[in-house]
A and B are shown apart, each in its own frame.
Chain A
């Protein structure tokens, strides 16, 4: 049997020496644990928010905008005005399509209803956003019909003010089909009857791929129903899709055209979908920025703490390092010593950190309704903190390795 081994990592003696000199090491380990806890939970929140922001609304957001028309006076006829406006808008060069709509996706405000697959107040409904649209909906909102039939002009009815009943036929999103009939293939929802207001039947005429509700924070944001009706109301909203690159030219033009075409109304609230997205996700963006800043600062503070502790311990142990060099430690062995020492401290830190991370996540789940953290964030966080420690300790370790062995014979 060989008497020698390749490299001796000195883990045992380093660990035993640390146990006799715990205070500094424990403080750094705690700092690493706390940093890891905050960083891992922050990253999780950031990724989650970012994923929410990456979700597609289904609309042609870059080329879509909307505005409101508020009619007033005895002479204002809403139905005539809406038909005139839509005729004008749809024939305007640069406009792909336009439509009256009751609410704007991802804007924050809209209608919701409950749909159920059996009639009767005793059954629970599935929540869905409701968009009141006409036969131009697919083209205007840039959504794709993936099953069933689209609305024809004869499907579209006028909803009078204060009218409470619903059309016979609707189109729903694939997500809503899955919510309503979780046990069946989504395609089979076409032709089925669902009930609104507990007992009022409606037939599912078609299914579209994707369209988001107005509320980005809602967990069923993909549940959307399209109801074929125009609203006979003095105050209405148009959504307009333009050809690529034409939106910014057309917005002021259309605003002026509409305002001039009928003096009995005012045009207001014009906004692009892009701006709506920015406004809706503003708190997400801000949170991401704040958490990122905190993470960077914490990481730097922790790294500096490690540098400080290692530098202090190098200065304190100069004689010892010189002695080790005299006894045969190469410069590499000295660097390794401090690296291993740091790894031991970091390991304690990240193990405690892993537990604290889970603890904080449980609190966040219970108090703020956040999601449970994915397990793999924890090992990744541990490795990152280990690496931060090793990088931070490297310069002091190099400094230690440069202590001359002749220091051992110097009487201080």
Chain B
């Protein structure tokens, strides 16, 4: 599903070279729910950006859904992001001037679906997160938890191969965080692979598998307490 082998990422300025990722190895299988934790500056976000094709990398090999992505141009990467990846951001990143319907519509339009197909998908995914009745509302009229649910609906509407979640509950109170987390677990149970970056250890424990990143490397790998699936163990 997602396979990184010795992936490197270096940020250069005139004075300093920062190795954000060094020989980063990770293999995520279909249906997995991986939580990536680590301290600030460990390389979590860089990993997420590379995994989500938001950034390029400087060395190693990265296969996404069996496809080597290192030689893709910007347009191809955009297409691949659109088709295969659903993003969930810490601050939701909904477009404030668009109602829920139009927000969920954004990636579907880039996909090139026709109007009827988009409508069907938008209604279905908003229904799935329990917000079908509020399609004409603006994001500002919703609570944080509800906004994140819209973002999840947006991520799911295109039926991506996997979800990339960046601190999905970071801006939410505990109750809302739990409900979002329950939703993610439900989505995963329905077969969507999820990679979640977080520094919340309690949250990470709810995933099937935990990755700990330190100094740009996967330093520690473990199964979370709640996950016990044999096929999850394969790790580089």
Binding site for B on A (CB under 8 A): 1-8, 10, 12-13, 16-18, 20-21, 319-320, 323-333, 404-406, 408-409, 411
Chain A CB within 8 A of B220 CB: no
Question: Which of A3, A17, A328 is close to B81, meaning CB atoms less than 8 Å apart?
Answer: A328
Contact B110 A13 (CB under 8 A): no
Q: Give the complex CA separation of A2 and B114 in angstroms.
A: 8
B residues near A4, Cβ cutoff 8 Å: 111-114, 117
A residues near B111, Cβ cutoff 8 Å: 4, 328
Shortest B46–chain A CB gap in Å is: 9
Shortest A25–chain B CB gap in Å is: 11
Q: Give the complex CA separation of A320 and B106 in angstroms.
A: 11
Chain A CB within 8 A of B206 CB: no
Contact B49 A17 (CB under 8 A): no
Question: Which of B75, B89, B106 is close to A408, meaning CB atoms less than 8 Å apart?
Answer: B89
Chain A CB within 8 A of B215 CB: no
Contact A330 B97 (CB under 8 A): no
Chain A CB within 8 A of B225 CB: no
Q: Give the complex CA separation of A10 and B111 in angstroms.
A: 12
Contact A330 B78 (CB under 8 A): yes
A406-B75 contact in complex given A3-B117, A323-B95, A327-B154, C-beta closer than 8 Å: no
Shortest B66–chain A CB gap in Å is: 20
Q: Give the complex CA separation of A285 and B54 in angstroms.
A: 59
A404-B83 contact in complex given A13-B105, A320-B95, A323-B89, C-beta closer than 8 Å: no
A3-B114 contact in complex given A324-B106, A328-B78, A406-B55, C-beta closer than 8 Å: yes
Contact A409 B89 (CB under 8 A): yes
B residues near A3, Cβ cutoff 8 Å: 113-114, 117
A residues near B146, Cβ cutoff 8 Å: none
A408-B87 contact in complex given A13-B102, A20-B97, A325-B78, C-beta closer than 8 Å: yes
Q: Give the complex CA separation of A385 and B54 in angstroms.
A: 37
Per-residue CB contact flags for chain B residues 27-57 toward chain A (1 = under 8 Å, else 0) read 0000000000000000001001100111100
Please name the 5 residue pairs, one residue from A and one from B, whose CB atoms are nearest each other, closest first: A328-B82, A17-B97, A328-B110, A8-B109, A327-B107
Chain A CB within 8 A of B74 CB: yes
B residues near A323, Cβ cutoff 8 Å: 87, 89, 93, 95
Q: In the complex, what residue of chain B is closest to A411 when comparing beta carbons?
A: B90
Chain A CB within 8 A of B91 CB: yes
Contact B54 A405 (CB under 8 A): yes
Shortest B151–chain A CB gap in Å is: 10
B residues near A333, Cβ cutoff 8 Å: 78, 110
Contact B54 A328 (CB under 8 A): no
Contact A330 B75 (CB under 8 A): yes
Q: What are 29 of the A-B contact pairs (CB < 8 Å)?
A: A4-B111, A4-B114, A4-B117, A7-B112, A8-B110, A13-B102, A16-B98, A17-B95, A17-B102, A18-B97, A20-B97, A319-B93, A320-B96, A323-B93, A326-B54, A326-B81, A326-B87, A327-B82, A327-B110, A328-B83, A328-B110, A328-B111, A330-B74, A330-B110, A404-B54, A405-B54, A405-B81, A406-B55, A411-B90
B residues near A329, Cβ cutoff 8 Å: 78, 110
Q: Give the complex CA separation of A16 and B93 in angstroms.
A: 18
